[in-house]
Amino acid sequence: MKFDMGTIIGIIGILFGFLGSLFFYLKGKKKKRLVYNTETAILISESLSNYENLRIQYNNEDIKTLNSTNIKIKNIGNDIIETDDFIPAVPIVIATSDHFLLQDTSKYNINSSNSKNRVFLKHIDESHIEVSFDFLNPKDEIQITVLHTGQITITGDLKQGSVKNYSSKKYEKETDDLNKDIDITYSILNMRKVFFLLIILIILLFLFISILYPDMFGDNKIEIISLMLIPLSMLVFMTQNK
């Protein structure tokens, strides 16, 4: 069997179109990634007990140590994360090796970067607090400040995706990179729309000319259309996975 140049070009065009579509599909695949960071400040240390006649109390109980921990939780993936995305047996739980100072969760300092997102805290016991929320869009972040004694740990696991503890340096770097990626993505999406329409117009123009002048392109119509499908198929997948 002999292949002429037109057939070879057609095969190459279809192959590249398939590979390009596969590449952008994998690159744009939805990923759920949640990261958190904790920063603890010592408010009251045991060394203060060395001072005579110095007593610090809360609800008539002496306090010898007290820490304040700021907890940041952020969605750095490209897909929305909801409470239902967590494994029911492993929700987000903030735990301390001793106990939390405030038992009334309505008194906790909670901030959300998305005003439409509600954050809920539930006391499991004096040393465990469950965290839930309506949703976290990509780039959304919530911050919770807790007063406690002992060491803070956070647990939680997604059905699909990852929940990771980041150091302050890595947390800031990853979130800064995410902001840059999102800004670049929006610029690229605007360009996609223009190129998408341009390629559609070129293909329609080619089909219109081939109808008016059927002999103009000879036997290479299929090969030409195949080559045009390369950027078109890429743009379709890029748009679907934005």
Residues 51-70: tens digit of each pLDDT: 777 888 888 888 889 999 99
Q: pLDDT tens digit string along 102-161? A: 988 888 999 999 999 999 999 999 999 999 999 999 989 999 999 999 999 999 999 999
pLDDT confidence tier of residue 227, bands split at 50, 70 and 90: low
Q: Where are the domains of the chain?
A: 10-28+179-240, 33-160
Q: Specify the range with the lowest mean pLDDT, choosing from 39-43, 151-155, 183-187.
A: 183-187
* Cα 95 to Cα 101: distance, rounded to the nearest angstrom: 12
Tokens encoding 111: 């901030």
Three-state SS sequence of the chain: CCCCHHHHHHHHHHHHHHHHHHHHHHHCCCCCEEEEEEEEEEEECHHHHHCCCCCCEECCEECCCEEEEEEEEEECCCCCECHHHECCCCCEEEEECCCECCCCHHHCEEEECCCCCCEEEEEEECCEEEEEECCECCCCEEEEEEEECCCEEEECCECCCEEEECCHHHHHHHHHHHHHHHHHHHHHHHHHHHHHHHHHHHHHHHHHHHHHCCCCCCCCHHHHHHHHHHHHHHHHHHHHCC
In which band, very low, low, confident or very high, does the pLDDT at 3 lie, cut at 50, 70 and 90?
very low
241 — pLDDT class (breaks 50, 70, 90): very low
CA 129 – CA 127 distance, rounded (Å)? 7
What CATH architecture applies to the domain 33-160? Sandwich (2.60)
State the average pLDDT over residues 183-188: 47
pTM: predicted TM-score of the whole model, two decimal places: 0.64
Q: What is the pLDDT of residues 156-177, one digit of tens each?
A: 999 999 999 998 888 887 666 5
> 208: pLDDT confidence band, cut at 50, 70 and 90?
low
Average pLDDT of span 213-235: 58
